[in-house]
Amino acid sequence: MPLSKAQSGHQYHLDIIGEGAPLLLLHGFSGDCTTWRAVAPAMSPNYRLIQLDILGHGASDKPAAAEYYRMYAIAADIIDLLDQLQIERAHLLGYSMGGRLALYLALHYRTRFISLMLESASPGLAKAAEREVRRQRDEALAGKIEAQGINWFVEYWEGLPLWASQANLPPTLLTEQRRQRLRNDPRGLANSLRGMGAGAQPSLWSRLPTLTIPTLLLAGELDGKFRRVNVAMAEKIPGAKLAILPAAGHNSHLENPAAFTQVLRSFLQRL
């Protein structure tokens, strides 16, 4: 089912493969459902993978108003899509921006999820002043994306220190990642920043102790910032498991898919 209309009237691109317990996968900023291709083959024999393009990304709709991109609005759309698929409960995996969205879903729709797996995610910025500074930075970047276009954005984005750990990946892999990013629409990415960037997201730190479903936190050993964030999260989430993946930075499912998949499957099998 390539496109499905949510309650908001917006259409989401879905790619569903595999058999077994449903597993919802949420990609990161500037990604789409194809970014899971390195781990999907190992998971699909045992799980029904529901991969979707988050609003503003890939082949999903890119509405003009930033209000549609708020985390609560997209979360409500996703729950509606699960209802349409007649999925009462699912495992939930989110990466980076998709991890922040997955955490929001697990906290606000806790009866709908069996387990939660967060890769390089965070509960947002704790202080209002920090969020305001980040909101202004995100707005400035959104304006540049709209003014200068997708080619400028991809060049800028791939030059960030966050991706330094990918320097030694095969050139063909990096080329495919760039092609995927270039398929995005400037308006969709700009409004995604405005609606659900770290500056716009409410802090979820105080709610972490209320998270009761089995939770796995994953971070790459080469991603110092998010490794520290996830150590702090693990201390607040009851019973949370923390996995630091070797030879990987922010995007561990791309940089070390074998280790990522092994940890994921082990966690799910123990459930």
Query: What pLDDT, in 10s, does the model give residues 48-58?
Result: 999 999 999 99
Paired tokens of 242? 């923390």
Beta-carbon-side half-sphere exposure of residue 100 (alpha carbons within 13 Å): 28
Tell whether the model's pLDDT for residue 7 goes beyond 90.
no
What's the CA gap between 79 and 148, in Å, rounded?
35
Range of the domain at 145: 3-270
What's the average model confidence in pLDDT over 1-10? 83
Name the average pLDDT for the chain: 97
Distance of alpha carbon 162 from its chain centroid, rounded? 16
Alpha carbon 173 to its chain's center: 20
Q: What is the pLDDT of residue 147?
A: 98
Distance CA 4, CA 255 (A): 31
Asked whether residue 110 carries a pLDDT value surpassing 90, the answer given is: yes
What whole-number distance in Å separates Cα of residue 233 and Cα of residue 136?
Answer: 26
> Total structural domains in the chain?
1
Paired sense of beta strands 11-17 and 47-52, if any: antiparallel
Residue 172 CB neighbour total at 10 angstroms: 8
- Alpha-carbon distance 144 to 149, whole Å? 8
pLDDT tens by residue, 258-269: 999 999 999 999
Which amino acid type is present at position 186? P
Pairing of strands 3-5, 11-17: antiparallel
CA distance 92 to 49: 10
* 184 confidence band (pLDDT: 50, 70, 90): very high
- CATH code: domain of residue 214: 3.40.50.1820
CA 207 vs. chain centroid, Å, equals 19
Residue 1 has pLDDT above 70, yes or no: no
Backbone angles phi, psi at 13, to 5 degrees: -85, 130
Structure-token pair, residue 154: 């991809």
pLDDT, one tens digit per residue, over 81-103 is 999 999 999 999 999 999 999 99
Sign, CA torsion 155/35/93/242: negative
| Residue 112 scores a pLDDT above 90 | yes
Q: In terms of DSSP bridges, do strands 3-5 and 21-26 run parallel, antiparallel, or are they unpaired?
A: unpaired
Residue 54: which of 40, 39, 41, 70 has the closest Cα? 70
3-state secondary structure (DSSP) of residue 64: coil
